[in-house]
Structure 1
Amino acid sequence: MKSKKRILVAPLNWGLGHSTRCIPIINALITHNFEPVIASDGVAIELLKKEFPNLSAFELPSYNITYSKNANGFKTKLLKDSPHLMKTIKREKKIVETLIKDENISGIISDNRFGVRNKTIPSVFITHQLRVLSGNTTWISSKLHQKIILKYNECWVPDHIGMNNLSGKLGHVNGFKAPIKYLGPLTRFKKSDLETRYNLFVLLSGPEPQRTFLEEKLLKELKLFKGNVLFVKGKVEDQQQKEIIDNIELYNFMTSSELEVAINESELILSRSGYTTIMDLAKLEKKAFFIPTPGQFEQEYLAIKFQAEGIAPFCSQDEFNIEALSKTDDYKGFKFEDFELNYKKLFGLF
């Protein structure tokens, strides 16, 4: 019997978004008779190990991307961390080389991990950022990112190609000659018409320390909220923990299937404006309120975009108070544009 081709799937460990949007890709690989092999670090690998306990999983060196406590210091901190980042990418490339030999890897899918590629086998880069926003240095950050993308056989962008897209100017640039394939939004969820159980669902994720800052702020503010609240901290730990504080049901994390049900049962979602969250909310056609991660240009851009389009309002972390949620009455929420992704054709590369 012919053995299955083994494909290395390696998401960046930065919040949970990169790993969660790899879930539909991993499921599709299994359906199309490939054997996915997972590689990452931190909460990203922990989450995928919980979702796919039967798949092989390997630890990659950590990029250790965290935010500075001060939002304005994000770019400076990233520059300071760049020598560490370059060393990590070199180590990552060596580990991948070894994995290809030892684990008989036939292809690579890297979600934003720069060192996960190899010239000897087809290598794919997943990103929604063909343009990387960084304020007055956007042109250079975009050029550097595009230079990395060109080292891969293909670049997969999880978005629609047309005007009704989700990533806006991030995922659509003119004159970039990379072999780009638009996959449509990537999400692990399906929409169901379930009875409303929660008036508000708070869904947190993202790097520290900003995740904790927002958690603490929201728990204080929510004391004034009238209605049922489900609050998921986005902290992937060994055991799921549940706590009830007044009208708030509090979890450290939820599995994909639990989250799918919970979002479908919720009236309004309060979250960061991370791109994976946006793809999920679009699929489930939800109303949302966004609090972009301070200092993260991409999330700020997406929040402004969806507010301008009349889909969802936002405000900054510092300015948020519970009254701000009433703004959502004037916004229409997300609507999903259907698409059919031909995975057989897509995986033809391998």
Structure 2
Amino acid sequence: MPIQHKKRILIAPLNWGLGHATRCIPIIKALINHNFEPIIASDGIALSLLKIEFPDLTCLDLPSYNITYPKKGKHFKLKMLQSSPKMAKAIKAEKKAVASIIADYQIDGIISDNRLGVHNKDLPCVFITHQLQVLSGNTTWLSTKLHQKIIKQFNECWVPDNLGDINLSGKLGHTTIYDIPIKFIGPLSRFSKKERPIKFDVMVLLSGPEPQRTLFEKKLLNEFNNYKGSVIFVKGVIENEQLISEEKNRVIYNYMTSSQLENAINESALIVSRSGYTTLMDLTKLSKNAFFVPTPGQYEQEYLAERLTTLGFVASCKQDEFTVEKLNDVSNYKGLSAMDYIVNYNKLFSLFERK
């Protein structure tokens, strides 16, 4: 009998901060456990992180979208519009790169986490997103319509959330979309909750595209200067080597591996971070108290933070309003709690078993 090769699945997360890459980690591990061979493709810090996490897997470069944020949140939509010709060019280059990868590596299926050009009409293709509705202020109808048009080029759409009333994405992931199967696969997280002694009063978890990540970092380092409790800072900057510095009551890392981050979050009483969806899934899995500061001008993060504050789960505020004193508000909120959701990966991956 001829030797049966493992089916190769191209998995490609968007390089927009680290969230898309980190939420693909449990999917990549599940593919390996179910006898598939994942081939990873991305760019920038997202690809760097996955190379560290999976040193034995093939990791390939894709053209970068080069997405940056404006310094002022109110210019976010304008910046996105100005970037669209550049993005369209990158997506065209991405499609060309994917065609070459499919031929060179004999790819059997594709999973794209928000990479718009990573699909092929001859292969089973999945799009991962928590945004069936894309918030953009008074142009939400248009951004949603354009995004759904892209989603419909795939065979299935996987939404990392619960289908029922108790969910994380609210109106983002719970809206009607026709012409394509939508599968709710439960919140995705690379972490596990562990009972560990609390070492840090506050963990500051930074992430997201520049220049807002750096602006937020500077503000928080300054704000925590006179804080009396113990603080651990993780900058979310992926570099060739891990750098650790200590000053006064603070420990500062440029980045952490998944296992280090899992331990540090479990050992921290309160997490101060952006309200990015992947961060939200991670902190929910670990049942943490949080204080969210959404990226200025990013409608999705502003909506998620406001929704969770209104529901009484976490405190939040705008970036320019943040002070250390605001952390006193946390005691008025109940914190995030885990949603136990077991994914049936056999059923989910059956799409790639079809001839």
TM-score (norm 1): 0.99
The aligned runs of 1:2-17 (5 Å cut-off) are: 2-17=4-19
Q: Give the letter aligned to residue 43 of structure 1.
A: I
Q: Deviations over 1:265-286 (max 9, x none)?
A: 0100000000000000000000
State the partner residue of 1:258. 260
Aligned residues: 350
Residues 50-72 of structure 1: per-residue CA shift (max 9 Å, x gap): 00000001100000000011111
The 10-residue stretch of structure 1 (169-178 or 213-222) with the greater mean CA deviation from structure 2:
169-178
Mapped contact 2:160–2:186 kept (Cα < 8 A): yes
Distance 1:86 1:175, change over 3 A: closer
Q: Aligned partners of 1:224, 1:179: CA distance in 2, in Å?
A: 52
* Residue of structure 2 in register with 1:313 after alignment: 315
Among 139, 142, 159, the alignment partner of 1:140 is 142
Partner of 2:200, secondary structure, is coil
**Could you say what secondary structure the match of 2:319 adopts?**
coil
**1:236-282 deviation digits (Å, cap 9, x = unpaired):** 00100000011000000000000001000010000000000000000
Please give the secondary structure, in 1, of the residue aligned with 2:316: coil
- Cα distance per residue 1:8-65 (max 9 Å; x no partner): 0000000000000000000000000000000000000000000000000110000000
Instruction: Determine if contact 2:132/2:177 at 8 Å carries over to the other structure.
Output: no
Identity of aligned residues (%): 61
Q: CA deviation at 1:223?
A: 1.2
Shift of 1:83: 0.6
Contact persistence 2:114–2:128 (CA under 8 A): yes
Match of 1:116 in 2: 118
Q: Hey, what does 2:154 align to over in structure 1?
A: 152
For 2:161 and 2:177, locate their aligned partners in 1 and report how far apart those are by CA, in whole Å.
Answer: 18
1:220 paired residue number: 222
For the residue of structure 2 that corresponds to 1:243, the secondary structure is: strand
The TM-score normalised by the length of structure 2 is 0.98
Q: Which amino acid aligns with 1:293?
A: T
1:207 and 1:148 mapped to 2: Cα distance?
Answer: 23
2:99 and 2:219 map into 1 onto residues whose CA distance is: 44
> 1:307 and 1:197 mapped to 2: Cα distance?
26
Name the CA shift for 1:63/1:175 in 2 (closer, same or farther; >3 Å).
Answer: closer
Shift, 1:175, TM fit: 5.0
1:83 aligns to what? 85
Instruction: Report whether the alignment pairs 1:185 with 2:187.
Output: yes
Report if the CA contact (8 A) 2:148-2:177 is conserved. Answer: no
Separation in structure 2 between the aligned mates of residue 5 and residue 237 of structure 1, nearest angstrom: 32
**Distance of 2:305 and 2:90 partners within structure 1:** 31
Letter in 2 for 1:275: Y
- The code of the aligned residue for 1:331 comes to Y
1:178 alignment partner AA: I
Bigger shift: 106-115 or 169-178?
169-178
Q: What residue number does 1:71 align with?
A: 73
Give 1:339 deviation, angstroms: 1.3
- For 2:284, the equivalent position in structure 1 comes to 282
Matched with 1:297 is 299
Give CA-to-partner distance per residue, 1:106-137, whole Å, 9 cap, x none.
00000000000000110100000000000000
Which position in structure 2 is the counterpart of 1:50? Answer: 52
Report deviation, 1:226: 1.4
Which amino acid is the alignment partner of residue 273 of structure 1?
Answer: S
- Write out the 4+ residue segments of structure 1 that deviate beyond 3 Å after TM superposition: none
**Using the alignment, how far apart are the partners of 1:17 and 1:175 within structure 2?**
24
Give the partner amino acid of 2:229.
G
> Is contact 2:160-2:185 (8 Å) kept?
yes
Q: Which amino acid aligns with 1:75?
A: K
SS of aligned partner of 2:315:
coil
User: Partner residue of 2:20?
Assistant: 18
Counterpart CA distance in 1 for 2:298 and 2:124 is 32
1:131 is matched with which residue?
A: 133
Deviation at 1:309, TM superposition (A): 0.7
Name the structure 1 match of 2:63. Answer: 61
